[in-house]
Amino acid sequence: KNAPYGIKTRQEVKELVLKAVEDIVSKEIKALVVACNTATSIAIKDLREKYKFPIIGMEPAIKPAVESGEKKRILVAATELTLKEERFKNLVSKLDKEHIVDAVPLSRLVDFCEKGIFDEDIIIPYLQEQFQNLDIKNYSTLVLGCTHFPFYKNAFIKIFPKSTHIIDGNTGTVKRLKHLISTSSTVQKTQKSGEVEFYDSGKKMDKNNRFLEFLKRLT
């Protein structure tokens, strides 16, 4: 009910994230993934100071993009708030030694996603408008720096040249989670099968909910 985060103030987002995590912690979790680049950039430090279990954040996949060895430029698409944060600026400063990274805000894409709007007749014109001042042929890699954006990967593919690599931080995040769970002394190991529960703004959802519809779009 509080989405999108990317156009809110920093303080608003921090308060929302801390409250959400309080609710999640009551479920006796072993680890937490903050699956939002904006929330990570604003609240991850506070969360790690407050809780002892492993906490994994998200950040735009600039490192693999820079290390790919491609000669062309790199374009990072994210929310306005993510791009304004010091965490993002520091990440670029640390990794972008050749000054080849550009960024573009696509906050409205989050709003489209939350409202279930995936019609490419709507999405593609919006993206084309946002990219109109960029020569997209100059980019070897497009980094999807928001966890909503992979839902529109097919639209990005239709806009960018076939040679453009389109990547996100999901694989790296999952590998990090697996590593921390397997090595953390605070995580109690179990052989029992797990189950998935969905909550929407603190309300438990049944098995016929919008999150499953989102997941189907990625498979």
Residues 149, 155: Cα–Cα separation, whole Å: 10
Residue closest to 216 by CA, chosen among 122, 31, 165, 207: 207
What's at 112, amino acid-wise? F
Residues 180, 36: Cα–Cα separation, whole Å: 19
Contacts of 134 (CB under 8 A, 6+ apart): 75, 102, 104
**Active-site residue (options: 13, 16, 20, 36):** 36
- Residue written as token pair 């000669």: 71
**Active-site residue (options: 62, 146, 155, 180):** 146
113 is annotated as an active-site residue: no
Query: Is the peptide bond preceding residue 161 cis, with omega within 30 degrees of 0?
Result: no
Contacts of 58 (CB under 8 A, 6+ apart): 33, 34, 35, 36, 37, 40, 147, 169, 173
- Distance between terminal CA atoms of the chain? 25
Q: Which residues are catalytic?
A: 36, 146
